Amino acid sequence: MKYVDEFRDPVLIEQTAAEIRRLAHPDRIYRIMEVCGGHTFAIYRFGLHDLLPANIELVHGPGCPVCVLPMGRIDDGMAIAEDPAVIMAAFGDMMRVPGQMGSPLERKARGMDVRMVYSPLDALKLAGENPDRQVVFFAIGFETTAPSTAFTVLRARALGVRNFTVFSNHVLVMPAIQAILDAPDMRLDGFIGPGHVSAVIGCRPYELVAQDYGKPVVVSGFEPVDLLQSIAMVLRQLNEGRAEVQNQYKRVVPWEGNPAALRALEEVFAVRPEFEWRGLGAIAQSALKLQADFAQWDAETRFAVSGLRVTDPKAAQCGDVLKGALKPRQCQVFGRECTPERPIGALMVSSEGSCAAYYEHVYLRQVAEG
Partner 1 sequence: MCLAIPGQLIDAPEENPHYATVEVSGVRRKVNLGLLQEQGVKAGDWVLIHVGFAMSKISEEQAQEQLRLLAMLGEAMQARQEVEGYQFDET
- Number of chain residues interacting with partner 1 (CB under 8 A): 49
Among 252, 282, 308, 367, binds partner 1 (CB under 8 A): 252
Q: Does 38 bind partner 1 (CB under 8 A)?
A: yes
Any idea how long the chain is?
370
User: Is there a contact between 153 and 147 (Cβ–Cβ < 8 Å)?
Assistant: no
Select the binding partner of residue 91 from ligand SF4, partner 1, none (C-beta < 5 to 8 A, by kind).
partner 1
Distance CA 92, CA 76 (A): 18
User: Where does residue 110 rank: exposed (0-12), middle (13-18), buried (19+ CB within 10 A)?
Assistant: exposed
DSSP string, 300-317: HHHS-------PPPTT--
Instruction: For the segment 285-324, give every residue that binds ligand SF4 (CB under 6 A).
Output: 316-318, 321
Strand partners, 168: 139
Stated as kind and residue range, the H or E segment containing 339 is none
Residue 6 and residue 33: Cα distance in Å, rounded? 26
Nearer to partner 1, 205 or 257 (CB): 257
Question: At 121, which helix (H) or strand (E)?
Answer: helix 120-129
Under the criterion CB under 8 A, does residue 255 sit at the interface with partner 1? no
Sole window of 79-87, 214-222, 283-291, 345-353 interacting with ligand SF4 (rule: CB under 6 A): 345-353
Which of ligand SF4, partner 1, none is residue 146 near (CB under 5 to 8 Å by kind)?
none
Under the binding rule (CB under 6 A), the answer on residue 66 touching ligand SF4 is no
267 binds partner 1 (CB under 8 A): no
Q: Is 333 a residue that touches ligand SF4 (CB under 6 A)?
A: yes
Q: Which is nearer to partner 1, 27 or 341 (CB)?
A: 341
Q: Which of residues 120-159 bind partner 1 (CB under 8 A)?
A: 120-122, 124-125, 128, 141, 144-145, 147-148, 151, 154-155, 159
Strands (E), the chain: 30-36, 56-63, 86-90, 114-116, 134-141, 164-170, 190-193, 217-219, 245-247, 269-271, 274-277, 281-284, 288-290
Give CA 318 to chain center in angstroms: 14
Whether residue 70 contacts residue 309, with contact meaning beta carbons closer than 8 Å, is answered with yes
Q: Under the rule (CB under 6 A), what is the footprint of ligand SF4?
A: 316-318, 321, 328, 331, 333-334, 338, 344-345, 347-348, 355
Give the residues lining the site for partner 1 (CB under 8 A). 3, 6-8, 36-38, 41-42, 45-46, 63, 65, 91, 93, 117-122, 124-125, 128, 141, 144-145, 147-148, 151, 154-155, 159, 194-196, 199-200, 222-223, 251-252, 258-261, 264, 350, 352
